[in-house]
Structure 1
Amino acid sequence: MKMEDIAALAGVSKSAVSLAFSGKPGIGQETRERILQVAKENGYLPKTRAAQPEASSKSLTFLVLANSGIVLEQYYQQPFFRELIHYIEVRCRAKGYSLLFTSIDVNAFSSDSHALAEDIRSEGVILLGTNLDRGQIASLADRLPAQLVVLDTCFETLPVHFIAINNVMGGYQAGEHLCQLGHEHIGYLASNVRISNFDDRRKGFLSALEERGLSIDENDIFSVAPTITSFQEELKNQLAAYQAAGRLLPTAFFCECDYIAISAIKTLTDLGFRVPEDTSVVGFDNISEARIVSPELTTVHVEKERMAHLAVDLAIEAIEQDHAVKTKIAVDTQFIVRHSSSAPSTAAVLSKPTM
């Protein structure tokens, strides 16, 4: 029996069977279990496991607490995390390590984390910390038997290895860019799910404005879903109420992540506004989709490859040397100017059709 036969019996593609056998993300847990059950019932033994029995002796585990509103169950399909995982896998292979994947529902953290600690077989764990608070990370650090590196957040008072984005710098760069273009009436598109990354981005952005004697009016702050890249009805409704109150649309918007920025461009375009002629839009993360949306998105570039390399290298160093003193690294950002931002137009935005 071949892999193609298992795929036919399970009603999935050959690539899905490969993902199920390798333990990599890309398919749902129910699908994975069905494929493995079909293989077991038909006596199929994946050749990759038999041919490489030594791989499990040198492995790292990528651990995710999903379903938080930011990190979804299918986190591996979210552009930012998809790119990050790719770079982690590449670095692991280069270092002679395999990468295992484990996830638990964040809502079942208390009950599942004990079992999780027993199930971890690798010597090192890279924990995606994007959506986690200090208490959750501290609890995992106490329970996990492996060396721990936390990626994409940082709590300075925890004795844990962290690799994080310099979010304050990125927010500052975005604010500086819009001010240099001459924008004074600036709107802010915030995530309706709060994490420390977003708070730090806001801090840096507001700092850049304050240095130039500017601020953001509370009426110019909008709250939207952070994981949607399509038209958002909720944003449309907020903008409609904004205009109904007789307010002029801001000449620029800063968005706390690229998902929000791409969604904003699509929503504004659907409503008859031109980006950047009527209003500029700036994002944060520089996901691959930022170059596909029209106009291409001006955004803050997060060094995902650099962060992935640092996380893998630090995890391996912790395994091999086990220093008592932990390391915290903040990776600086770069600002990428594309076509979604420009100097404010002299034309009155109020001339656009009301919603």
Structure 2
Amino acid sequence: MRMEDIAKIAQVSKSAVSLAFSGKPGIGNETRERILRIAREMGYNAKPRVTATVQEKSSKQLVFLVITNLGIISEEYYQQPFFRELIHFVEERCRSKGYSVVFSSVDMEHFDQSIRAVADDHRNSGVILLGTNLSREQIAFVADKLPQLVVLDTCYDTLPIHFVEINNAMGAYQAGAHLCDIGHKDIGYVASNVRIHNFEERKAGFAAALREKGLEVAPSRTFSVAPTLLSSQDSMRQQLEGCLHAEGKLPTALFCECDYIAISAMKTLTELGYRVPEDISVIGFDNINESVIVTPELTTIHVEKEKMARLAVDLLTDPAEHGSNARSKTRVDTRFVARLSTCAPTAAVGVGSSGSKPG
């Protein structure tokens, strides 16, 4: 009997089983007890440390709910830079208002049953749902079971639910305007191969900025890669090499739909012998902490994660909101951050005999 088997039987994620065994906060008491009971019944040799924590003692509590294994959010979502930073600010805001946070993750494989289980544990608690990867129907289902709900990082205008989202179109517009303003005309677009609401809005905003300058991204300058890898990607290398052979040169600049993709693209370009930004400028989106660790530091679009977290927490903890049936849709503007990965274009670099940049 493995932890994965217990997770499947309990209809929770493996990370929830780990939290139950370790005695750490992040799941409700009823869920913890159910996991431990199943483990005992199946003969799993676990000795959980059930420790009292500030979160469990607090009578004022919010739930941070994540649906994993769907789109770009994995079971280890708390290790993904963007979500890690967002969660940090949610915790900080809750702490400042005297609230604790319980983290609950639901595996998409058992979505309906698991949401009902969360509702049984936390029906009277305020819930912040990370909606990045969720459809309108999925969010509506959660709201039906957990009415004190705020959804972060997406928005569906026709749902009577509080939403707090990024102004994605504005951020991508800022990125496109920057590249045009410093003289780029041959611009490439690196998209996520997993499509979500945020990326579609970024695509539209970037196209709008280029359109104002009489430009567009040619199909041959559009690439698609995994959105959650910070390392170089073979698929990116193959697409860039294919572009070189077909066109004889690469774009002078690349806009990437998120910083993960931008950092991955920079590493792939370096392996191909290209210099960033001297040969190719690269710009990302999100301004994760890793964007200032890479060399060169990444030009990007700053997402106001702290403000988004504050707005979400305040919607659930402000007494004035409790007596109101009106719901709000809040879009938080972005900010352009100029660093070292973009500059004015130089002469186009063609393809060498080996298929890479000539030495």
| TM norm. shorter chain > 0.5 | yes
- Indicate the RMSD between aligned Cα atoms, in angstroms: 2.5
Query: Deviation at 1:24?
Result: 4.0
How far apart are residue 210 of structure 1 and its match?
Answer: 0.3
8 A contact 2:166–2:331 mirrored in 1: yes
User: Match for residue 38 of structure 1?
Assistant: 47
Distance 2:315 2:67 in 1: 21
Alignment of 1:72-221 (within 5 A): 72-120=74-122, 123-144=125-146, 146-221=147-222
Q: Which residue is equivalent to 2:232?
A: 231
What amino acid is the match of 1:228? L
Q: Which moved more, 1:209-218 or 1:235-244?
A: 235-244
Q: Is the CA contact 2:61–2:99 (under 8 Å) kept in the aligned structure 1?
A: yes
Asked if 1:311 corresponds to 2:312, the answer is: yes
One-letter amino acid of the structure 2 residue matched with residue 327 of structure 1: S
- The verdict on how the C-alpha distance between 1:269 and 1:190 changes in structure 2, with shifts beyond 3 A counting, is same
Q: Which amino acid aligns with 2:66?
A: V
In the other structure, the counterpart of 1:7 is none
Aligned in 2, Cα 1:341/1:349: closer, same or farther, shift over 3 Å? farther
- 1:347 Cα deviation from its structure 2 partner: 4.9
Residues 1:318 and 1:248: Cα distance change in structure 2 (over 3 Å): farther
**Alpha-carbon contact 2:194-2:226 (below 8 Å) kept:** yes
C-alpha separation between the residues in 1 aligned to 2:92 and 2:21?
Answer: 16
Structure 1 distance, partners of 2:89, 2:65, is 15
What SS does the aligned partner of 2:198 have? Answer: helix
Partner of 1:341: helix, strand, or coil? coil
Query: 2: distance between equivalents of 1:153 and 1:53?
Result: 29
- Contact 1:123 1:319 survives alignment (8 Å): no
Which is worse superposed, 103-112 or 217-226?
Answer: 103-112
Amino acid at match of 2:51: P
Q: Distance in 2 between matches of 1:341 and 1:19?
A: 48
1:105-135 deviation digits (Å, cap 9, x = unpaired): 1232133222232122552000000000111
Q: Deviations over 1:32-73 (max 9, x none)?
A: 979994246xxxx52546xx8750x21000000011230111
- For 1:86 and 1:187, locate their aligned partners in 2 and report how far apart those are by CA, in whole Å: 33
Structure 2 residue matching 1:210: 3-state secondary structure: helix
SS in 2 for 1:222: strand
1:261-297 C-alpha deviation (Å, 9 max, x unpaired): 0000000001101100111000000000000011100
What is aligned with 2:15? none
Secondary structure in structure 2 of the residue aligned to 1:188: strand
Match of 1:67 in 2: 69
2:355 equivalent to 1:354: yes
- Distance in 2 (CA, whole Å) between partners of 1:320 and 1:331 is 19
- CA contact under 8 A between 1:188 and 1:220: conserved in structure 2? yes
1:269 matched residue in structure 2: 270
> Between the two proteins, what is the percent identity of the paired residues?
54
- Matched residue of 1:296: which SS? coil
Q: What is the distance in 1 between the residues matched to 2:348 and 2:244?
A: 17
Which amino acid counterpart does residue 173 of structure 1 have in structure 2?
Q
**2:233·2:268 contact (CA, 8 Å) conserved in 1?**
yes
SS of corresponding position for 2:194: coil
The answer (yes or no) to whether the contact 2:252–2:348 under 8 Å persists in 1 is no
Alignment match, 2:341: 340
Whether the aligned pair in 1 keeps the contact of 2:89 and 2:305 (CA below 8 Å) is: yes
Tell me the secondary structure at the aligned position of residue 285 of structure 1. Answer: coil
Structure 2 gap ranges (5+): 1-17
Secondary structure of 1:307's counterpart equals helix
Q: Give the letter aligned to residue 138 of structure 2.
A: Q
Identify the residue that residue 6 of structure 1 maps to in structure 2. Answer: none
Aligned residues of 2:19 and 2:26 also touching (Cα < 8 A): no
Cα distance in structure 2, aligned partners of 1:250 and 1:294: 20
Q: Secondary structure at the match of 2:159?
A: coil
Q: Which amino acid in structure 1 is aligned with residue 204 of structure 2?
A: K
Letter in 1 for 2:323: D
User: Could you give the per-residue CA deviations for residues 167-218 of structure 1, whole angstroms, max 9, x where no partner exists?
Assistant: 0000100000000010000000000000010000011100000011000111
Q: CA–CA distance in 2 between the matches of 1:269 and 1:335?
A: 24
Kept in 1: contact 2:281–2:341 (CA 8 A): yes
Asked if residue 330 in structure 1 is aligned to residue 331 in structure 2, the reply is yes
Alpha-carbon offset, residue 323 of structure 1: 1.2
